[in-house]
A and B are shown apart, each in its own frame.
Chain A
Amino acid sequence: MGTNLEEQFQQKIDQEIKIEPKDWMPQKYRHTLIRQISQHAHSEVVGMLPEGNWISRAPSLKRKVILLAKIQDEAGHGLYLYSAAETLGISRDEMYHQLHAGKAKYSSIFNYPTLTWADMGAVGWLVDGAAIMNQVPLCRTSYGPYARAMVRVCKEESFHQRQGFESLLVLSKGTDEQKRMCQDAINRWWWPCLMMFGPPDDESTNTIQSMQWKIKRFSNDELRQKFVNMIAEQVKILGMTLPDPDLKWNEEKKQYDFGAINWEEFKQVIQGNGPCNKERLDARRKAWDEGAWVREAALAYSEKKSKQS
């Protein structure tokens, strides 16, 4: 019986038929998805913090509005993704508790600080850019609600990436200080962005099963390579450089070769030792704890009202 269901399930996947919430699915598929979607949702919400750091200091009203709207989009992505995860039988509150308890992960990139205004451009261009690389294939992922959420998310992410690039373009044509700011931001964000694709394929434990279930469609290294190829070209338009002496076009492979990634740094950040891990988690916990009386009051009020009607 069990094998039969599993065979039917795999057949559906192989035929590109989407799995829907009420369909039978292996426990491990369900758990893998809950982990992945909730991690993604947390990343959107924690990701609001480093950019939120510059809202009050945005250098023009136009930039302030663009930044606010961008961060608001990320909150929206968090909402879609939490809802998608809820269809698998976990509540949003439970996911929050996992995050606040330090049990759930979120993208390591958001544990880096945003130090100058140029970081807003670099985050849009590189971080949202890396996110799109990861996420465009997820628009065809096998779980229906996740795939549909990703379609909406990806449209907005590519808009963010263009806005980020445009804001760096302005800096790159600005004063000497602005140019320096632009290059400095690229230098600081480049390597952490390459880490966003996860460990190299030969060390990535989840990849094979996830590929078979079509939760993932490309390996970490494939996606990372595509990202490097794209950014290595775009950075030329900015007249800036990437901080990698080994970055070089490889005519034979038709791709850019690039230098070794510091996986020790990645491991440290994942384990909680990045520059801002503590601040990010503390900020989320604080928002949650200080909002408790608000949520209780809202609930009490709506219960009162439903009794009255």
Chain B
Amino acid sequence: MMTTQEIENPLIKFLLHLGDNALIMGHRNSEWCGHGPILEQDIALTNIALDQIGQARNFYQYAAKLILESSGEQLTEDSLAYLRDSWDFKNCLLVELPNGHWGRTVLKQLIVSAYQFCVYQELEKNADKQLAAIASKSLKEITYHFRWSSEWVIRLGDGTSESTQKMKDALDAIWPYTNEWTNFSDYELNILGDSHLTIRENFEEKLGAVLSEAGLTAPTIAFSQDGGKKGNHTEHLGYILAEMQFLQRAYPNAAW
């Protein structure tokens, strides 16, 4: 079985982190396809899933290219997605949490989009041209994801008393997974440099503005959940991978 654990190159690790966030988020979003509360919104969330998976492919393809150059190992977007185990995945924990109801899903999406927006905005200026290009292309998509999820969080936060309560509960449940995004790892700091401060500031501001318009208050929490960036995940990720990787594992070396 392949593993990317010996990789030391911070750019490769960072690319895998960005790709894994996008892939697992896209996977969770895609679980809604055909089951959404409103047909138009089913289509909208599937669009977001498609964008996220598309972004993951771009990050993986670039990571595979760098791995080939540095170690001579032949990898592809698919071997990175389908043949690594959970300890190799570097995504934040939030994306792997179950969707729960529609309100919890759009809240998750809001946090992810706010973060992706802020980080891509900085990466767009990165000296690494290919990274900058992927970030720039993704930023256009994320702008829409952020607007869409903001609108939903506001609508449900300020909708009926039932929806307000559901959003409060959802926020309480997922808020402990928010700090991990801006609790930067060494490989992120290596690539982001001082811009990590801007990202943290923009992220809190962007998210805070939407929550306040939705009439929601972030709970005060005594602890934060993290570990995803280093490969320490929730129990959920193993099941996502078991399902996602089934065919590649059951029929090794087959082309699809």
Contacts and interface: CB of A to CB of B under 8 A. Distances in A.
A300 B33 CA distance: 25
B50 A61 contact: no
Interface string A240-274: 00000000000000000000000000000000000
A72 B36 contact: no
Size band of the interface chain B makes with A: 35 or more
Contact of B166 (A65, A170, A293): A293
A294 B50 contact: no
A1 to B, nearest CB: 41
B50 A69 contact: yes
A178 B37 contact: no
A300 B160 contact: yes
A294 B47 contact: no
B10 interface: no
Interface string A71-102: 11001101100100000000000000000000
A49 B34 contact: yes
A77 B158 CA distance: 32
Contact of A297 (B35, B49, B82, B162): B162
A286 B37 CA distance: 9
Given A59-B247, A61-B81, A65-B50, A177 B254 contact: yes
B256 A45 contact: no
Given A55-B30, A56-B30, A56-B243, A178 B251 contact: yes
B56 interface: yes
B256 A59 contact: yes
Given A60-B78, A72-B43, A294-B102, A177 B251 contact: yes
A115 interface: no
Contacts of B156: 294, 297-298, 301
A61 B57 contact: yes
Most buried by A among B46, B243, B246: B46
B81 A79 contact: no
A287 B37 contact: yes
A28 interface: no
B33 A68 contact: yes
Interface in A273-299: 283, 286-288, 290-298
Contacts of A288: 37
Nearest to B154: A301
Given A61-B57, A170-B256, A298-B155, A56 B244 contact: yes
Most buried by B among A58, A60, A294, A296: A294
B176 interface: no
A60 B256 contact: yes
B186 interface: no
A191 interface: no
B231 interface: no
Size band of the interface chain A makes with B: 35 or more
A178 B162 contact: no
Contacts of A49: 34
A56 B43 contact: no
A177 B253 CA distance: 12
B27 interface: yes
B40 interface: yes
B84 to A, nearest CB: 13
Interface in A21-58: 45, 48-49, 52, 55-58
A296 B243 contact: no
Most buried by A among B40, B43, B57: B43
Given A48-B34, A59-B247, A64 B43 contact: no
Contacts of A296: 159-160, 162-163
Contact of A291 (B27, B31, B38): B38
A174 interface: yes
Contact of B160 (A56, A63, A297): A297
Contact of B243 (A57, A62, A283): A57
Contact of B244 (A57, A72, A167, A304): A57
A175 B155 contact: no
A58 B23 CA distance: 13
Interface string B138-177: 0000000000000000111011101100100000000000
Nearest to A302: B155
A117 interface: yes
Contacts of B36: 287, 291
A302 B38 CA distance: 15
A48 B162 CA distance: 30
Given A59-B248, A68-B49, A296-B160, 4 more contacts: A283-B35, A296-B159, A297-B156, A297-B159
What are the 9 tightest A-B residue pairs by CB atom distance, in nearest-first order? A291-B37, A297-B159, A297-B163, A48-B34, A59-B247, A52-B34, A59-B256, A294-B37, A301-B155
